[in-house]
Amino acid sequence: MELNPAQRHESTEEPKRSFVADFLILAAIITGIFSMIEMGREWHHPFQSKVDIDLSPWYLPYYTMLSFLRGAVAYVLSILFTFFYARWAAYDRQAERFLIPLLDILQSLPLSAFLVPIELALVAIFPHSNIGIELSCIIVIFTGQVWNMTFSFYYSLKALPADFQFVGKLARFTPWQKFTQIEIPFATKGLVYNSMVSVAGGWFFLSIIEAFQIGDQDYRVKGVGSYMSVAQEKNDGWAQVYAVIAVVIMVVAIDQLIWRPLIVWSNKFKIEDTESEYHDRSAVLRYFSRSRIANWIHDAFKRRIRRRTIIPVVKVTPREPSALSRMVSAIPWRIIFSIIAIVLLAYGAVNIFKLLWEVTITEWFQIVRDLLLTLTRVLASILLSTLIAVPLGIWIGSNPRWARYIMPLTQIAASFPSPLVFPNLVILIYLLHGNLQWGSVLLMMLGTIWYILFNVISGASAIPQDLRACTMLTHLHGWQKWRTLYLPGIFPALTTGWITAAGGAWNASIVSEYVQYHGTTQMATGLGALISDAQATNNFPKLSAAILAMALFVVFFNRFVWKRLSAIAQERYQLLT
- Are 369 and 530 in contact, with CB atoms under 8 Å apart? no
pLDDT at position 243 is 84
Q: Rounded to an integer, what distance in angstroms lies between the CA atom of residue 503 and that of residue 447?
A: 9
Side-chain half-sphere CA neighbours of 132 within 13 A: 20
pLDDT at position 8 is 44
The DSSP secondary-structure symbol of 248 reads H
Please name which of 168, 116, 173 lies closest in space to residue 139, comparing C-alpha atoms: 116
Give, for all 577 residues of the chain, the pLDDT tens digit.
Answer: 444 444 444 444 556 666 777 777 787 788 878 878 887 777 777 777 677 788 888 888 888 888 888 888 999 999 999 999 999 888 888 888 888 888 877 776 766 667 777 777 787 788 777 788 888 888 888 887 888 889 889 888 887 877 787 877 887 888 888 888 888 888 888 888 888 888 877 776 776 777 776 656 677 788 888 888 788 778 777 888 888 888 888 888 888 888 888 888 877 776 655 555 555 666 777 777 777 777 777 666 666 665 544 444 444 455 566 666 666 666 666 677 677 777 777 777 777 777 778 888 888 888 889 999 999 999 999 999 999 999 998 888 888 777 777 877 777 777 666 666 777 777 777 777 777 788 888 888 887 888 888 888 888 887 777 777 777 777 777 778 887 888 888 888 888 888 888 877 887 788 788 877 666 777 888 888 888 888 777 777 888 888 888 878 887 887 788 778 877 877 776 655 4
pLDDT at position 474 is 76
pLDDT at position 309 is 44
Q: Quote the distance between the C-alpha of residue 350 and its chain's center.
A: 32
Q: Rounded to an integer, what distance in angstroms lies between the CA atom of residue 268 and that of residue 6?
A: 9
Please name which of 484, 314, 281, 320 lies closest in space to residue 401, comparing C-alpha atoms: 281
Q: Rounded to an integer, what distance in angstroms lies between the CA atom of residue 502 and that of residue 448?
A: 7
| Angle at alpha carbon of residue 545, lines to 145 and 338, rounded to 5° | 60
CB atoms within 10 A of CB 339: 11
Q: Rounded to an integer, what distance in angstroms lies between the CA atom of residue 249 and that of residue 63?
A: 13
- Are 427 and 409 in contact, with CB atoms under 8 Å apart? no
CB atoms within 10 A of CB 488: 18
Q: Rounded to an integer, what distance in angstroms lies between the CA atom of residue 146 and that of residue 109?
A: 13
CB atoms within 10 A of CB 548: 18
Q: Rounded to an integer, what distance in angstroms lies between the CA atom of residue 521 and that of residue 536?
A: 11
| Angle at alpha carbon of residue 12, lines to 8 and 13, rounded to 5° | 160
Strands 514-517 and 520-523: antiparallel
Concatenated DSSP letters of 89-134: HHH-HHHHHHHHHHHHHHHHS-HHHHHHHHHHHHHHHSTTSSHHHH
Strands 217-220 and 514-517: unpaired
Q: Quote the distance between the C-alpha of residue 91 and its chain's center.
A: 22
Residue 28: exposed, middle, or buried by beta-carbon count in 10 A (0-12, 13-18, 19+)?
middle
Side-chain half-sphere CA neighbours of 226 within 13 A: 23
The DSSP secondary-structure symbol of 416 reads S
- Are 223 and 67 in contact, with CB atoms under 8 Å apart? yes
pLDDT at position 388 is 92
What 3-state class would DSSP assign to 320? coil
Q: Rounded to an integer, what distance in angstroms lies between the CA atom of residue 448 and that of residue 389?
A: 10
Q: Rounded to an integer, what distance in angstroms lies between the CA atom of residue 373 and that of residue 134?
A: 36
Q: Rounded to an integer, what distance in angstroms lies between the CA atom of residue 425 and that of residue 155?
A: 35
Residue type, 155: Y
CB atoms within 10 A of CB 306: 13
What does residue 514 show for φ and ψ, rounded to 5 degrees? Answer: -145, 95
- Can you say whether residue 476 is alpha, beta or left, with left for phi > 0 and alpha for psi between -120 and 50 degrees? beta
**Which domains are assigned to the chain?**
14-299+333-572 (1.10.3720.10)
Q: Rounded to an integer, what distance in angstroms lies between the CA atom of residue 44 and that of residue 217?
A: 20
pLDDT at position 255 is 81
Please name which of 245, 534, 571 lies closest in space to residue 415, comparing C-alpha atoms: 245
Q: Rounded to an integer, what distance in angstroms lies between the CA atom of residue 114 and that of residue 415?
A: 20
Residue 132: exposed, middle, or buried by beta-carbon count in 10 A (0-12, 13-18, 19+)?
buried
Q: What radius of gyration do the chain's Cα atoms show?
A: 25
